[in-house]
Amino acid sequence: MNFGRHISGQFNVELESIRTHVLTMGGLVEQQLSFAMQALHKDDVELARKVVRDDHKVNSMEVSIDEACTRIIAKRQPTAKDLRLIIAIIKTITDLERIGDVATKIAYVAIESPATQDREFNISLEPLCRQAISMLHQVLDAFARMDVDAAAHVYKLDDKIDAEYEAVIRQLMSFMADDPKNIPHILQVMWSARAIERVGDRCQNICEYIIYFVKGKDVRHLSGHQTIDDALKS
Amino acid sequence: MNFGRHISGQFNVELESIRTHVLTMGGLVEQQLSFAMQALHKDDVELARKVVRDDHKVNSMEVSIDEACTRIIAKRQPTAKDLRLIIAIIKTITDLERIGDVATKIAYVAIESPATQDREFNISLEPLCRQAISMLHQVLDAFARMDVDAAAHVYKLDDKIDAEYEAVIRQLMSFMADDPKNIPHILQVMWSARAIERVGDRCQNICEYIIYFVKGKDVRHLSGHQTIDDALKS
């Protein structure tokens, strides 16, 4: 992908390298989320421990990409679209790192939850988590191609995640009422559901950064009934 | 406060102006959080509605400070400490905006929760919220003076917030078990508690940005038993 011609071919190489690192980081985060979910469903404590162990990889990628961005600003003094790309990357990796934290949180639930008996509660998270992983995958794809239409499409997937989340919470609330002694464990599952629902919001943030980069337009904080499509047209 | 001498006095003026805007935004967020808490405690639906109405002010400050930061990078091509200040500001306002969202979330609970009867649950949030507001106040103070020692001190306040949060959750869990018909409302209060606890984490992020700006050192993601003091000394 060509981000405009630069006097310095080296600058292009550096920008491209940062972008590749973001995609690698995104891939790792997606894998972490997917492993955490598997660990929860299959009571695979070993896999859950791996997710916790690997969280530092996500963190150190965030730090090193951040440093690379600061270095490139200082050295190359980018303006306009190049600068927007770097700002978009700085913001994107913050969201990716937080999604990585969600994976770790779910992994801890898998480690701490007593095996067999409470699987019914854990299993209720599966469709929600699958949707979140799919949304993350699609937003990374939109990021790789810096595709505004794809970003606008992915943005809207959050509505489905919200609906699924509400259904999960309703189901878990009825489990709670049926058998109050399970409240502590069900709450753990609810916190996980909440964290997964927030993955959708973070993916929406990344969609906004893609649009900001390509269009130079800040579409955060839409007012009232304004949709992402309205914002893109206006 | 002198951020180093610049060839252009105008640059200093611009940096100072951005910094002032961040503090204004921080003050507004602190007020929003404080009003939301008051609204919840005193069943003041009017005040809660004001908090919801004013959220757009926080959002538009984030957008305009972001724009000012991008403009100053493009125009002045800052390096070293000036650049670190701008990067620190870009990250700080993201956290401030999210704290603003917490205020709105609590305000909605105040609007939706049935008045008198459930006040016992709402009231349990007061000490937690007071601690969070105090931590936010102190981190803004540390930001205003770019005071690393103050930032390291504020950073550690989060432990107290976490302990208070655990206590609130335990109390609310016992309310749930006592009377399962209250589960839906108590859950609302729990989500609020969780959101307030996250304010502490966001204040810690801002402490990290202050340290990054002053020391040029990234102290995020401390490993194992490393404390913030260890990281500052190393």
The interface residues of chain A toward chain B in range 114-143, judged by CB-CB distance below 8 A, are none
In Å, how far is B113's CA from the nearest CA of chain A?
A: 18
CATH number of this structure's domain B9-233, picked from the four choices 3.30.1960.10, 1.20.58.220, 1.10.645.10, 2.60.120.10:
1.20.58.220
pLDDT in tens, A22-50: 999 999 999 999 999 999 888 899 999 99
Give me the pLDDT at residue A71, please.
92
SS (H, E, C) A129-175: HHHHHHHHHHHHHHHHHCCHHHHHHHHHHHHHHHHHHHHHHHHHHHH
Interface confidence (ipTM) of the complex: 0.85
Residue type, A209: Y
Give me the pLDDT at residue A16, please.
92
SS3 of residue A3 by DSSP: coil
Residue of higher predicted confidence among A181 and A97: A97
Q: Which residue has the tokens 């929760």?
A: B113
Helix (H) or strand (E) run with residue A61 in it:
helix A45-76
In Å, how far is A133's CA from the nearest CA of chain B?
A: 23
B87 pLDDT band, cuts 50/70/90, is very high
Look at residue B7 and tell me whether its pLDDT is greater than 90.
no
Look at residue A224 and tell me whether its pLDDT is greater than 80.
no
In 3D space, the residue among B155, B165, B172, B129 whose CA is nearest the CA of residue B226 turns out to be B155
Give the fold, CATH level 3, of A9-224. Methane Monooxygenase Hydroxylase; Chain G, domain 1 (1.20.58)
Q: What mean pLDDT do residues A217-223 have?
A: 81
pLDDT in tens, A128-174: 999 999 999 999 999 999 999 999 999 999 999 999 999 999 999 99
Give me the pLDDT at residue B117, please.
54
**What residues have CB less than 8 Å from A24, skipping those under 6 apart?**
A61
pLDDT in tens, B171-218: 999 999 888 888 988 998 999 999 999 999 999 999 999 999 999 888
Look at residue B63 and tell me whether its pLDDT is greater than 70.
yes
Name the residue facing A173 among B62, B91, B187 (closest C-beta).
Answer: B187
Look at residue A124 and tell me whether its pLDDT is greater than 90.
no
Look at residue B118 and tell me whether its pLDDT is greater than 80.
no
Chain B CA closest to residue A82: B74
Q: Any idea where the domains of chain A sit in the sequence?
A: 9-224
Beta carbons of B83 and A67 less than 8 Å apart: no
Name the residue facing B83 among A56, A73, A180 (closest C-beta).
Answer: A73
| A-chain residues near B188 (CB < 8 A) | none
Beta carbons of B62 and A220 less than 8 Å apart: yes
